[in-house]
Structure 1
Amino acid sequence: MPPAPPPAGSGAPPEASHPLDAALQAEREALRALFPLPPPRAPRGGQTLRNGGAAALVLAVATGALLWADPAWRTEHHASATGERRDVRLADGSTLTLDTATALDVAWHLRSRRVALSQGQARFAVAPSAWRPFEVAAAGARIRVVGTVFDVRREHDRVQVTVLRGRVEVRGLRGGAAPQRLAPGQRLRVEAGSAGTPEPVDTAQAGAWQQGRLVFDRTPLREALAEVQRYRRAPIRLRDDGQLGGHTVSGVFEAARTDQLLDLLPRIVPAQVQRQADGSVDVAPARR
């Protein structure tokens, strides 16, 4: 049987039976704190009707202003360290998976849920809420959904959006370009506000990072090393001669064992790996 409601006049809020109920209850309490009601005053004669009408009008205007402004009533920060993968469950039931060296902020608004991704990569499994859409902002691009699963990756002013389930809409593009709509199995790259063309993607390969794997399929060495660098604190320097960085790498490697990949490099491409005392690594053309 469901729990009995609190006694009338007790002032106790009803017990939340769902994560969304708990979030809404917290929202109501936060709004009460921000906009406290004035103490009641005894009405005087014929002013009761006029005062009641004025109060209703003020309440309607204030409510409309709040809904239009859509203020944030709570924010929270989440981050992962280099080499760490972290899961976060939000109050509405949505889940986030943060890849290595990722930082983001979540803001709870009256009519929306907003995430600002400042760096790294995250997967978003969004709890459906038609009246409260979920939005991710990254380097000017805005990804808007109601309920779906998708990845967003940010590197400086470059953003990559990959959809695994449901549909997303990417806004905030340069020159007022029309929003781009993505379906499952599609990826969109946005650089400095300019979007490319949606392209098909292998969702299993795209999600390999969640299992702690790095997957390369004829990936240029310079790009593969940049990906490995995301999981290492000490720098990797490519001493490119104009050709080495273009050699391709294929294979599946463990993100937690990047040293293994570096040790194997001379067998894959014509390179030598030089480890320095400070932990950094130089990758240079092999000696002839």
Structure 2
Amino acid sequence: MPSPTPRKPRKALSAAALLVLLGAGLAWFDPAYQTEQYRTVIGERRVVKLVDGSRMTLDSDSRATVAWHLRSRRVQLQTGQALFDVSKTLVRPFRVDAGAAQVKVLGTLFSVSHLNDAVRVTLVRGAVSVNDATEAGHSVQLVPGQQVEVRQKLLQSPVTVDTDAAIAWKDSRLIFERTPLAEALAQIQRYRKPAIVLDDPSLANLPISGVFDNRNVEDLLNLLPSILPLSLSTEFDGTLHVRRKAAKK
């Protein structure tokens, strides 16, 4: 009679199955093994060199968490503005989450601004994809020189911008080109601790243009009444009120 075919021990089969499941799990899940916290105070700018060779430049009053995962590199920009110069690696793609926006990239130079509920992504070099947080999961691929916003969790259409102006903050400059006053004041607020309050909504869309030093925004604020029909008043705690200039009698 022929010898019976030897059977593999049940324990060996179970161990093999466990290894397969473990491998599949690691391929699907992407656990974090190290996190780092970074923040800047008002008036501070900080360059952070990450362990993979990438660089993250944080603007004034910004906060970010860097997480190193098994299969990816992730940054959570809680608030503020950051410029990313990402080293390219196919093994661990780079991702930035900011509010309702998610930016995915392999290697590139781009900036992310997270102010209140609005997120703005500007691409200087390379390519990135930006997703919003809607159920449909809208996505857009940017090319260099484009900028896209996510407002109220909804992805807007990309526009062409001057990238030098968009990242001028890294050189301590604010560049406005017919920028609505409300938006300009929101940017200025990033470099000033006491609040800036726009008391008259009718002033919100007044355009402002020019190149200014963000290390001394008080000079810029004091200049506003000479170029726009508005007046300024300051409370004891430094809160600045912006109102329409009273008509001359």
Instruction: Please confirm whether the aligned pair reaches a TM-score higher than 0.5, indicating the same fold.
Output: yes
In structure 2, C-alpha distance between the alignment counterparts of 1:155 and 1:286, rounded to whole Å: 28
Aligned-partner Cα distance in 1 for 2:110–2:202: 35
Could you say which residue in structure 2 is the equivalent of 1:65?
Answer: 25
Query: Does the alignment pair 1:259 with 2:207?
Result: no
Question: Which residue is 1:106 aligned to?
Answer: 66
Identity among equivalent pairs (%): 43
1:25-44 C-alpha deviation (Å, 9 max, x unpaired): xxxxxxxxxxxxxxxxxxxx
Distance 1:141 1:283 in 2: 31
Q: 2:101–2:131: 8 Å Cα contact kept in structure 1?
A: yes
Tell whether the 8 Å contact from 2:138 to 2:155 is kept in structure 1 after alignment: no
Q: Could you tell me how far 1:285 is from its partner in structure 2?
A: 2.0
Contact 2:132 2:154 in 1 (8 A): no
Instruction: Please give the residue correspondences for 1:238-277 in structure 2 after superposition, counting only pairs within 5 Å.
Output: 238-240=198-200, 242-277=201-236
> What does residue 193 of structure 2 align with?
233
Which of the two has greater helix per residue?
A: 1
- Is residue 139–residue 192 contact of structure 1 (8 Å, CA) maintained in 2? no
Kindly tell me the number of residue pairs found equivalent between the two proteins. 242
CA distance in 2 between partners of 1:63 and 1:172 (Å): 31
1:212 Cα deviation after fit: 0.6
Tell me the amino acid that sits aligned with residue 263 of structure 1.
N
Distance in 2 between the 1:239 and 1:245 partners? 10
* One-letter identity of the residue aligned with 1:70: D
Distance 1:108 1:102 in 2: 20
- Distance in 1 (CA, whole Å) between partners of 2:73 and 2:64 is 13
| Superposed displacement of residue 156, structure 1 | 2.9
Residues 67 and 110, structure 1, Cα contact 8 Å, conserved in 2: no
The amino acid of 2:22's aligned partner reads A
Matched, 1:195 2:155: yes
Contact 1:173 1:179 in 2 (8 A): no
Q: Tell me if the contact between 2:131 and 2:155 (Cα under 8 Å) persists in the aligned partners.
A: no
Specify the code of the residue in structure 2 equivalent to 1:124.
Answer: F
User: 2:27 & 2:203 partners in 1: Cα distance?
Assistant: 56
Residue 100 of structure 2 contacts residue 150 of structure 2 at CA under 8 Å; is this kept in 1?
A: no
Which sections of structure 2, spanning at least 5 residues, go unmatched? 1-7
- Give the equivalent residue in structure 1 for 2:3: none
Shift of 1:173: 4.1
Matches within 5 A, 1:42-121: 55=15, 57-121=17-81
Q: Which amino acid aligns with 2:81?
A: Q
- Partner letter of residue 241 of structure 2? D
C-alpha distance in 2 between matches for 1:245 and 1:50: 74
Q: Which residue of 2 aligns with 1:176?
A: 136
- TM (normalized to structure 1)? 0.78
Compared with structure 1, are the counterparts of its residues 54 and 190 closer, same or farther at alpha carbon in structure 2 (3 Å cutoff)? same
Q: How does 1:136-147 map to 2 (within 5 A)?
A: 136-147=96-107
Unpaired segments ≥5 residues, structure 1: 1-47
Give the root-mean-square deviation of aligned CA atoms: 2.2
1:188-247, Cα deviation, whole Å (9 max, x unpaired): 11112211111001011111111011111112222211211111000112221x533332
